[in-house]
């Protein structure tokens, strides 16, 4: 198969970027303990973009002005964007080799970040969910081009997210289609206050990266905000919800869209739903083992289910469990308040042990690899 002009440009950009970064053409931490990237605070309230190896060694801790939420890795350069948490107007591009802050990315006028972004597989483009504060809640996906000479992200346009209050987005396996959780909540610039709890409109949208809508689906409860998601290698999408209705209502806080099927509740036991306090945070899928893991920090509960049978493998108490990510043997989970944990899924029953990462102050998402 011959390379297209666009792919050629992508390769060229990668080489140029590698040159700028000092000859690291294809950076990776091979042979090392997995690297965990996350937003974190210290007890004085200072915000950081941090990298820790899973064995507890610190790679870097870069102070940043605003609290971040999720982290998106460049597909092959040692770069990651630590994405500003709603309603931040800043995100931070960091050199993962030493934590150098390469760029403070400012949102456009009348836009703020929602805490999530993804790099395109070419490494040239980044897509971030944003709020149009001129028309509060109108979701847009900002498109940024990576200037590989200067290693700067440059705003290059935007498209509609086809919904209100977009939150997490991810690539489907084709690498060209995005799935987006539109939370359905309207907030103004500079505020986290919800303006439309009685008229929310959450949706799960699939669109191509140029903005053309492929599908838009909803769940029955309008107050069930679709926020976080993960995509399996076969294209199965799992979403996590945050419900803004009565605290005692039993609603699907986890939902699934299998390839070719309708978006529908994932069959979680009612007793498990009751433990989540209507709030889910981070979701990770283990592709080889076909497992899905999810944190519920308000309920102080961590879960692992079989992605296909929905059987429960783990239903564990864990204070303020925050980000979760998959590694070959299982899942690593951070905590906002306590010790981070590793759940080893290599044997019959899942074994858990504590990690030597610093305790507490981890934000709700992580990148692990």
Partner 1 sequence: MQRLIVLITTLMLAACSNPRQEVTVQLANQVLLPAHQQWQSRNAALLDSTRAWCSGDQPLASLEQAFHQTQSAWSRLQPLMVGPLSEGNRSWQVQFWPDKRNMVARQTEDLLNEFADLTQLQLEGASVVVQGLTAFEYVLFDEQAALSDNRGRYCPLLTGIARHQLALSNEVLALWQQPDGMLETLTSFPNGRYANADEALGGILRVQVTGVDTLKKKLGTPMGRLNSGVPQPYQAEAWRSRHSTENLLAALEGAQAVWERVRSLVGDAKLVGDIDAAYKSVRDKLAALPAPLMNMVQDKANQPQLQSLYADLDALENLQQTDLARHLGIQIGFNANDGD
Q: Of 17 and 323, which has the nearer Cβ to partner 1?
A: 323
Among 195, 251, 275, 313, binds partner 1 (CB under 8 A): 275
What CA–CA distance (Å, rounded) separates 145 from 159?
Answer: 14
Q: How far is CA 187 from CA 117, 129, 166, 323, 364, in A?
A: 19, 14, 11, 24, 20
Given the rule CB under 8 A, which of 14-22, 203-211, 229-237, 297-305 is the region that contacts partner 1? 297-305
State yes or no: residue 90 binds partner 1 (CB under 8 A).
no
Closest distance between partner 1 and the C-beta of residue 5, in Å?
A: 40
The string of DSSP codes covering 243-287 is E-S-TT----SEEEE-TTS--EE----HHHHHTTTTB---EEEET
What CA–CA distance (Å, rounded) separates 275 from 123?
Answer: 40
Query: What letter does residue 27 receive in the DSSP assignment?
Result: -
Q: Are 91 and 81 contacting, i.e. CB atoms less than 8 angstroms apart?
A: yes
Given the rule CB under 8 A, which of 104-112, 135-143, 172-180, 336-344 is the region that contacts partner 1? 336-344
Q: Please give the residues from 124 up to 163 whose contact with partner 1 meets the rule CB under 8 A.
A: none
Q: Of 17 and 87, which has the nearer Cβ to partner 1?
A: 87
State yes or no: residue 205 binds partner 1 (CB under 8 A).
no
Strand partners, 90: 106
Contacts of 218 (CB under 8 A, 6+ apart): 201, 202, 203, 204, 263
Closest distance between partner 1 and the C-beta of residue 115, in Å?
A: 6
State yes or no: residue 317 binds partner 1 (CB under 8 A).
yes
Strands of the sheet containing 111-119, edge to edge, are 111-119, 125-132, 138-147, 152-164
Q: Of 147 and 194, which has the nearer Cβ to partner 1?
A: 194
Contacts of 342 (CB under 8 A, 6+ apart): 54, 330, 331, 332, 333, 352, 353, 354, 355
Closest distance between partner 1 and the C-beta of residue 229, in Å?
A: 14
Per rule CB under 8 A, count of chain residues that contact partner 1 = 36
State yes or no: residue 320 binds partner 1 (CB under 8 A).
yes
Closest distance between partner 1 and the C-beta of residue 9, in Å?
A: 35
State yes or no: residue 300 binds partner 1 (CB under 8 A).
yes
Among 16, 29, 33, 41, binds partner 1 (CB under 8 A): 41
What is the bridge-based pairing of β-strands 111-119 and 138-147? unpaired
CA 196 to centroid of chain Cα atoms:
24
Given the rule CB under 8 A, which of 13-21, 47-55, 256-264, 333-341 is the region that contacts partner 1? 333-341
Closest distance between partner 1 and the C-beta of residue 130, in Å?
A: 14
**Residues 229-268: x/- map of binding to partner 1 (CB under 8 A)?**
------------------xx--------------------
What CA–CA distance (Å, rounded) separates 128 from 236?
Answer: 22
Q: Please give the residues from 343 up to 362 whose contact with partner 1 meets the rule CB under 8 A.
A: 352, 354, 360-362
The residues that touch partner 1, with contacts defined as CB under 8 A, are 41, 43, 69, 85-86, 115, 167, 227, 247-248, 271, 274-275, 279, 281, 297-300, 316-320, 322, 336-339, 352, 354, 360-364
């Amino acid at each position: 198969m011959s390379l297209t002009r666009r792919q050629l440009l992508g390769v060229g950009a990668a080489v140029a970027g590698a040159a700028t970064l000092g000859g690291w053409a294809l950076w990776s931490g091979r042979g090392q303990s997995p690297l965990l990237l996350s937003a974190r605070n210290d007890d004085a309230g200072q915000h950081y973009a941090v990298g820790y190896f899973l064995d507890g060694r610190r790679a870097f801790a870069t102070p940043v002005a605003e609290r971040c939420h999720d982290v998106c890795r460049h597909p092959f350069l040692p770069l990651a964007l630590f994405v500003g948490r709603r309603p931040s107007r800043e995100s931070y591009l960091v050199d993962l080799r030493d934590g150098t802050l390469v760029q403070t990315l400012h949102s456009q006028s009348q836009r703020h970040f929602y805490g999530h972004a993804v790099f395109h597989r070419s490494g040239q483009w980044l897509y971030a969910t944003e709020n149009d504060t001129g028309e509060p809640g109108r979701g847009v996906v900002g498109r940024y081009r990576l200037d590989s000479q200067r290693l700067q992200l440059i705003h290059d346009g935007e498209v509609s997210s086809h919904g209100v209050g977009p939150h997490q987005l991810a690539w489907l396996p084709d690498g060209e289609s995005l799935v987006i959780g539109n939370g359905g909540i309207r907030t103004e610039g500079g505020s986290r206050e919800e303006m439309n709890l009685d008229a929310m409109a959450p949706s799960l949208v699939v669109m191509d990266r140029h903005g053309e809508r492929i599908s838009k689906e909803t769940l029955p409860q309008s107050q069930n905000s679709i926020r976080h998601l993960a995509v399996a290698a076969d294209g199965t999408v799992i979403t996590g919800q945050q419900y803004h209705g009565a605290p005692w209502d039993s609603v699907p806080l986890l939902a699934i869209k299998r390839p070719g099927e309708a978006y529908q509740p994932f069959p979680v036991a009612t007793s498990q739903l009751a433990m989540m306090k209507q709030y889910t945070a981070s979701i990770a899928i283990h592709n080889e083992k076909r497992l899905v893991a999810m944190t519920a920090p308000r309920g102080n509960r961590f879960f692992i289910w079989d992605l296909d049978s929905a059987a429960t493998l783990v239903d564990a108490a864990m204070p303020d469990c925050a980000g979760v990510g998959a590694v070959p043997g299982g899942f690593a989970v951070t905590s906002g308040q306590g010790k981070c944990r590793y759940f080893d899924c290599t044997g019959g029953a899942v074994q858990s042990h504590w990690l030597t990462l610093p305790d507490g102050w981890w934000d709700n998402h992580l990148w692990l690899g």
